Structure 1
Amino acid sequence: MTDPTPRDIVLVMTDQQRADLTAREGFPRDCTPTLDSLAAGGRWFDRAYTTTPLCVPARISLLTGRFPSAHGVLGNSGYDDPARGDDLIDVLGAAGFRTALVGKNHSHLTPERLDHWVEFGHFGRVPPSAATGTDREFDDWLRAHPGTTTTPSPFPLEHQLPARIVDEAITWLDTAGPDDRSFLWLSIPEPHVPYQVPEPYFSTYETVPPAATTADALADRDFSWRYAGKLAEQSGEAEPDVLARARANYVGMLRLVDDQLARLVAHLERTGRLATTLFVHLADHGDFAGEYGLMRKGPGLPEVLARIPMVFHGPGIRPDRGPSPAHVSIADILPTICELIGTPVPSGVQGRSLVPLLRDPDQTSDFSSVYVEQGYGAPYREEDLGDRTPGVRRGADGRVAIDTVNEVTQAGVRRMVRSGRWKLLAGAAGTVQLFDLSTDPFELIDLAGRPEHAATCQNLQSELESWLVSRDVRA
């Protein structure tokens, strides 16, 4: 019988990857064949969610098993000292694993806490001086092209960040001794903006299925959404040709990343380590990828931002080609790894171990709902801004650059709970929205005020209250 305890753990995190743009979820372009294959041979979840659709707080939730309202980091700054007990690196180090980060950090981790550290950001190596030669030229090119490129990247595949990150990962994994156990956080900073790809990806994915929604949907949403639409117009990202190219580049980036993960998986198999390696893939959050006339992230808790891909493959996992019906969270990763390696879950962890689901596909009890949160303070009104335009700056060349994560799009506390086909959103000032995701996956029709759905709405409000109370989440 195969030992269910993994020898090594490879945790792959992609940045801003939408869950639904995969063939296994019905997307007509085959842009994630490697991950789809791992999912079919392992366990995957189509009701997996981030704790919040923002890089830093979501990554700290991954590492600490806590929701942002508990670890205290609600934005992408001021994250050096979150409220936490032992985190994932503490746990794995104490269990005898050598540890490495290769790729994007954007968390409270620091290099001295791990055995190996090779950091990349969205514009290449960190610090920039760590890159040399053509790699450095490519990183400089990325900094000069922070948005969407409408022509192929002029640098070949081997200089793209996912290729270099996988090269570094393979090199480190191969340094393991015969008795070593290794944990690798392989953190790829794509398909996050800049939206760019080289050939053949640029041409192969030049035409992709269009988004299901348009900017017209913004008219019925709160000011944070409409402000994001305003930024897209100011930057030119809302132009139909630019938006279509950005979406096409995004899908091409998915395939580029997947092809590099294929190299890593092939190397693990060739060296005889795949069978003893727990391979986990997930994203920190999603991307609009053209929905509502937007790219990037920013306002609200829509499915395209809050739902994430999540795949487990390796020893002790009972394969099932179909998705688990369980509702799971990025906060569940730490307690899951703890149970898989036989170590206690640290105090203060709010996530749930997924091991019962990984070992028995029919097990779904205690996973009937999932909770997500976003924002802080009071929401902005249009009249609050005056002449200010948060999230907008002009470069030396006069071009407008935007940041869709700003004081407007993040203002206002929002909470959501998903259970089965239903999703409840609780916003500022007691506002409640109800959506039937089975018929309305892009949340265009609010059912909260309809008498025939009053009981469903009340039940989900009670479920939300249970989440807030049972996990001591601060409302």
Structure 2
Amino acid sequence: MKPNILLITVDQMRWDCLGVMGHPVIETPNLDALANKGVLFRSAYSATPICIPARAAIMTGMSQRSHGRVGYAERIPWNYAHTLAGELAKANYHTQCVGKMHVYPTRNLCGFHNVVLHDGYLHHNRRKDHTTADTHFDSCDDYLQWLRQMTGAQTDLTDLGLDCNASTVARPWHLEERLHPTNWAVTQSIDFLRRRDPGKPFFLWTSFVRPHSPLDPPQAYFDLYKDVDMPDSPVGTWVDQQAAEQSRNDPTMLFGIIAKRRLDRAKAGYYALITHLDDQIGRLLNALQEAGVHQDTLIVFTSDHGELMGDHHFFRKGLPYEGSAKIPLIVCDPGGQMGLKIGSEVREVVELRDIMPTLLEAAGVPIPHTVEGSSVLPLCKDKFECWRSYIHGEHALGQLSNHYVTDGKEKYIWYSQSGREQLFNLVDDPLELTDLSGTDEYKTRLNDWRTILVKELDGREEGYVDNGYLVAGRKPQTYLSHISV
């Protein structure tokens, strides 16, 4: 019998927000236990750290250059020949997604037999002048329909007054905890375990919207953190303090200084959402045991990207710094069927495009030629001869459009509009406090990394490379032309 597969993803969770990672404040006992019984990855990244491209990497196993989504662009159809769910469905898996897909059209199945959808509060999907009856939020979102049935009112996701990008504002959830979207995702996932075809292995993707803002944890979880004196966020010596001082108070800002009290409250809400998620993930894992399938199920946990939460006075995601681009990744085989090295850690650099080939290999399903990622199962068994030496990441973000390359030990960053370069030694300086790009000691390493990025960008339609040199100021694109036809 092929293994069942449970893929658990959360949205906007930093790599370091796990107790097992040594976080000084957060409590994540269920995820810590999953890591202790499985394999914990120390250098996992999201190549394009924002929702849509990250999910394209998970679903297709492609690099951003191939899946074509190199920034945040709505209304670009998802027409991929091979998807994770599609390949598993062809191999006789019963496939289901619960929660966030963030694809277009909104109800595109992307190879799943069924999707119980909640993409969260997305500005585009709420604009009636941008959508049709089959893509508008009120029509498409299964959670909202359920919530209104449960409350008997025209309840909406905006009732708390919080924006979906308000990373600096936190308020407790105003309804019963069981009505929270995190609880709903687990309830629906458990219901799938009841309704699944018992004659087939299953692939269940439980895709949570939180801890993405709005920061609205249930009251009991907010109370765990609201009075904690939070450690200060790291601020590098390279940060423009004067510019940060000029940006204050906007709850959806990307860069700026906010009062410590407000920042601590935002962190309290963010950590509370993660602990709430941890408890609900524990509930889902317990349901696997009650269904008698826990020992037959491969479990993978990760996030689509991080949340800067004040690091270097930045918020949200899209930037190449660790708080944004680095993600948690845990692989666990409770039944020990696959020979993973229990309780081990992997330090090789991995990326979201590696999830699809990992799950296909675990299922014994052929990996399509379009997949550019690599299965991490050999890393989990400590039986690999060679691995990639780096990954390339990027994000089209206006004047902050950026590219980065890293091996998990060093990181080179190039801002494509200004030409600014940065280099960090992640072993000695994991908080990225000191930019080494201008030092004589690292001059050779800077040139080595620059050469690698030139290789990655050579031939790109944006024209980032000319005659072997990086060219600043070329117009960034949020998607590449080959996916818009």
Q: Normalization by structure 1: what TM-score?
A: 0.82
Task: Map 1:33-432 to 2 at 5 A.
Answer: 33-82=29-78, 84-108=80-104, 110-112=107-109, 113-123=111-121, 126=141, 128-131=144-147, 132-134=149-151, 139-140=156-157, 142=159, 144-146=161-163, 147=166, 151-206=171-226, 207=228, 209-214=230-235, 218-219=239-240, 231-232=250-251, 238-298=258-318, 300-314=319-333, 315-358=337-380, 360-361=381-382, 363=384, 365-375=386-396, 409-411=397-399, 413-428=401-416, 430-432=419-421
Matched, 1:15 2:35: no
Q: In the TM superposition, what is the alpha-carbon distance from 1:134 to its structure 2 partner?
A: 2.6
1:122 and 1:193 in contact (8 A); partners too:
no
Q: Secondary structure at the match of 2:211?
A: coil
> How many correspondences in the alignment?
434
- Which segment drifts farther, 120-129 or 267-276? 120-129
Q: State the alpha-carbon separation in 2 of the partners of residues 25 and 240 from structure 1.
A: 24
Q: In the TM superposition, what is the alpha-carbon distance from 1:432 to its structure 2 partner?
A: 2.6
**Unaligned 5+ residue runs, structure 1?**
376-408
Q: In the TM superposition, what is the alpha-carbon distance from 1:240 to its structure 2 partner?
A: 2.9
Matched, 1:459 2:448: yes
Q: Secondary structure at the match of 1:114?
A: coil
Residues 424-473 of structure 1 show CA distances to partners (whole Å, capped at 9, x for unaligned) of 11232654321111232232321122121123223333444555579999
Q: State the alpha-carbon separation in 2 of the partners of residues 237 and 433 from structure 1.
A: 22
Equivalent residue, structure 1, for 2:482: none
Q: 1:362 to 1:110 in 2, by over 3 A?
A: same
Q: State the alpha-carbon separation in 2 of the partners of residues 339 and 272 from structure 1.
A: 23
Equivalent residue, structure 1, for 2:24: 28
2:57 and 2:64 in contact (8 A); partners too:
yes
Q: In the TM superposition, what is the alpha-carbon distance from 1:78 to its structure 2 partner?
A: 3.5
The structure 1 segments of at least 4 consecutive aligned residues displaced by more than 6 Å after TM superposition are 225-230, 233-237, 469-474
Q: Secondary structure at the match of 2:394?
A: strand
Q: State the alpha-carbon separation in 2 of the partners of residues 151 and 366 from structure 1.
A: 44
**Unaligned 5+ residue runs, structure 2?**
122-136, 465-485
Q: State the alpha-carbon separation in 2 of the partners of residues 84 and 185 from structure 1.
A: 19
The aligned amino acid for 1:443 is: E
Q: In the TM superposition, what is the alpha-carbon distance from 1:48 to its structure 2 partner?
A: 0.2
Q: In the TM superposition, what is the alpha-carbon distance from 1:56 to its structure 2 partner?
A: 0.5
| Superposed CA RMSD | 3.2
Q: Secondary structure at the match of 2:118?
A: strand
Q: In the TM superposition, what is the alpha-carbon distance from 1:151 to its structure 2 partner?
A: 4.7
Q: 1:465 to 1:116 in 2, by over 3 A?
A: same
Q: 1:474 to 1:374 in 2, by over 3 A?
A: farther
Q: In the TM superposition, what is the alpha-carbon distance from 1:25 to its structure 2 partner?
A: 1.2
1:53 and 1:285 in contact (8 A); partners too:
yes
Q: Normalization by structure 2: what TM-score?
A: 0.80
